[in-house]
Amino acid sequence: MNQYPAWKYILLIVVVAVGLLLALPNVYGEDPAIQVSMTTDQSLPENTVATVQQTLDKASLPYKKVERQEDNVLVRFEDTETQIKAEAAIKQALGDNYAVTVNLAPSTPDWVQALGLQPMNLGLDLRGGVHFLLQVDIEAAVDQALNSYRADIQDWINEELGPGQAAVRRQGNQIDVRFHDAATRAKARNIINDRLLNDVTLTETRIDGDPALVVRVPEAKVAALRTGAVDQNIAALRNRLNDLGVAEPLIQRQGRDQIVVELPGVQDIAQAKERLHAKATVEFRLVDTTDSAIMAAQSGHVPLNAELYRDTPSGQPVLLKRDVIASGKNLVDASPGPNPQGADWVVNVNLDSEGGSRMLDVTRKNLGKPMAVVLIQDRTTEREVNGETVREHHKVESVISVATIQGVFSNRFQISGQTQNEATQLATQLKFALAVPMDVVGQRVVGPSQGAKNIERGMQSLVLGFIAVVVFMALYYKVFGLFADIALLMNVVLVVALLSLLQATLTLPGIAGIVLTVGMAVDANVLIYERIREELRNGSSPQAAIYGGYERAFSTIADANITTLIAGVILFMFGSGPVKGFAVTLSLGIMTSMFTAIVGTRAIVNLIYGGKRVKKLLV
């Protein structure tokens, strides 16, 4: 009685061995580090490692190691003070072509890395970094959609029925389209229906006696626009942050119109804020060569079909035609690169089929004429109104390039006249454009030293809790208590192993979840041992008491743990940030504790007592 077959012992040994191996990388901790990468799509120069080493040696800054990785150089230091000084020195030595990021790097030995083993990620509260709360202007998404509908409806009617057949005007959340007669209205209704099927509702009416159509966007569509704006901004932020060197950035929606961004390991708040907030698009337009831009600027009279721009590379005013050839919405890709025909840098632009078709038609008809690139940036200003800070968005439009069309092209061309830094920033802003503006309404920096203190305190609480439980079990349940203590140690190892295997992020609440798991992990053993005591009091033999204790306590243990696991899953599904971290460690701890408490302790008990004549149990 109470004997396990050999395969069960082998399975248990394999599970524990694999758990120890997976948890091993977490023993070595992390080094303060600096990550150096290119701000462009170019590969890192071969001499970067030598340049970094020479810079640190010249500044008398000691370092542990400088290593070249796939697309960056990683420099390890003994302490954060040297790390911060080294960041400034390396930035000055390398210039704007490189991104120099303060970070923390696992100090795992090479042989462990060769096995593909990695430590679990540490959250912002343990590793230090930057926390942002972003407010998304979701109403701007509705405005953009309505303005786009208005412009498209006017273009479609002009294209199908000819100019002057309808007057299209936006009134709040609806668009009014006025006609000269009902027959034109009927034709226009068919045109709009064909293009905007299911997107809008059309109502025939009369405005000031004229036949008209009222175009309304359904509330469900408006709600989808608001939700989609936040989702698009989240997607854009993920792409923008890829090259900041952040191991596990947290980017998630909070409430209806806010986004939480946490960047563990990043200490440069200005660089992170710029990467998050920058918003830009471009428009490609022909230059109006029939009218004088200087006379228009002096007189203030601008031709109806043109717009006057004063912010230009030459400093001279320029008139551009109002018709937009292509814009940011037609952009598929944008990447910086050196200009093969000059010393400046260019942005290589790739348009979609619609934009490429229009660009091909315009360049074919306007060879030898100038075309301009207009950069449109969203800027935010703050002012005090009745004691409250009011943020206002402004569009700042400037002509960044005017060049003569020297050949026919369509969807692939270049924006020239940029410095390397300008080209890199412009390409990033264009490629990962935000759907709508957003403001940073909250920010905080957690220093690496504060994160280290949190780790120290968390580990102290875990160790003290572990020792208290171990002592109690050993004193109260004697030898069987020691079995439970061994299973408890196995449980902690397996939790850490699973966190490392899943590459989950451990936060301070996550440590609290592990501490709680330590206390809960012995619950199953307490139920089993009390059941064994009860069986012994009822006159059962030691072997029968062991068998009855494990078998009859199982259903109670399963019910208690499954209900707690359900609560953990719900916390993970509906919680955010720290709550999710707590839910992950709690749920993993419940699953591992059931394995170690039931299978692990019984394997030890069976190994020692199984198949033997036992007169007394120390329980």
Ranking 93-97, 581-585, 603-607 by mean pLDDT, the lowest is 93-97
Residue type, 242: N
Residue 378 pLDDT level (bands cut at 50, 70, 90): low
Q: Is the pLDDT of residue 134 over 70?
A: yes
- Mark 176-210 as b/e (b = at least 16 C-beta within 10 Å): bbbbeeeebbebbbeebeeebeeebeeeeeebeee
Ranking 290-294, 327-331, 507-511, 534-538 by mean pLDDT, the lowest is 327-331
Report the pLDDT value the prediction gives residue 26, as an integer from 0 to 100: 86
Listed residue (55, 305, 611, 609) closest to 619, CA to CA: 609
Q: Is the pLDDT of residue 470 over 80?
A: yes
**Strand order through the sheet with 129-136:** 250-254, 258-264, 129-136, 438-446
Q: What is the mean pLDDT of the chain?
A: 81
Ranking 28-37, 475-484, 586-595 by mean pLDDT, the lowest is 28-37
Question: What is the token pair recorded at 316?
Answer: 């001279």
Q: Is the pLDDT of residue 244 over 60?
A: no
CA 170 – CA 159 distance, rounded (Å) = 20
Q: Which residue has the tokens 């050839």?
A: 325
* Ramachandran angles phi, psi of 258, nearest 5°: -125, 155
Report the pLDDT value the prediction gives residue 14, as an integer from 0 to 100: 92
Residue 18 pLDDT level (bands cut at 50, 70, 90): very high
What is the pTM (predicted TM-score) of this model? 0.61
Report the pLDDT value the prediction gives residue 248, as an integer from 0 to 100: 62
Q: What is the pLDDT of residues 545-563, one digit of tens each?
A: 888 888 888 888 888 888 8
Report the pLDDT value the prediction gives residue 247, as an integer from 0 to 100: 54
Report the pLDDT value the prediction gives residue 390, as an integer from 0 to 100: 65
Listed residue (579, 586, 494) closest to 250, CA to CA: 579
Mean pLDDT of 476-486: 88
For 77, 130, 191, the CA distances from 272, given in Å and listed in that order, are 23, 8, 46
Q: Which of 71-75, 386-390, 585-589 has the highest mean pLDDT?
A: 585-589
Kindly calculate the radius of gyration of the chain based on its CA atoms and give it in whole angstroms.
Answer: 33
The 8-class DSSP code of residue 242 comes to: G
CA 469 – CA 416 distance, rounded (Å) = 69
CB 436, CB 144: distance < 8 Å: yes
CB 475, CB 551: distance < 8 Å: no
Q: Is the pLDDT of residue 148 over 60?
A: yes
**Positive or negative: CA dihedral 233, 237, 238, 240:** positive
**Positive or negative: CA dihedral 575, 579, 585, 591:** negative
Q: Which residue has the tokens 């100019």?
A: 163
CA 383 – CA 392 distance, rounded (Å) = 8
Ranking 191-195, 326-330, 464-468 by mean pLDDT, the lowest is 326-330
Residue 246 pLDDT level (bands cut at 50, 70, 90): low
Higher pLDDT, 401 or 274: 401
Neighbouring residues of 156: CB distance < 8 A, sequence distance ≥ 6: 191, 192, 195
Report the pLDDT value the prediction gives residue 267, as an integer from 0 to 100: 59
Question: What is the token pair recorded at 326?
Answer: 């292509």
CB 264, CB 122: distance < 8 Å: yes
Residue 379 pLDDT level (bands cut at 50, 70, 90): low
Q: Which residue has the tokens 């119109």?
A: 257
The 8-class DSSP code of residue 600 comes to: I
Residue 140 pLDDT level (bands cut at 50, 70, 90): confident
State the distance between the two ends of the chain, measured CA to CA, in whole angstroms. Answer: 19
The distance of Cα 370 from the centroid of its chain, to the nearest Å, equals: 41
Q: DSSP string spanning 507-562?
A: -HHHHHHHHHHHHHHTHHHHHHHHHHHHHHHTT--HHHHHHHHHHHHHHHHHHHHH
Q: What is the pLDDT of residues 253-309, one digit of tens each?
A: 888 888 888 887 665 666 677 667 666 677 888 998 888 888 888 888 888 778 888
How many percent of the chain have pLDDT more than 70? 89
How many percent of the chain have pLDDT more than 90? 2
The C-alpha angle with vertex 253 and arms to 133 and 429, in degrees rounded to 5, equals 70
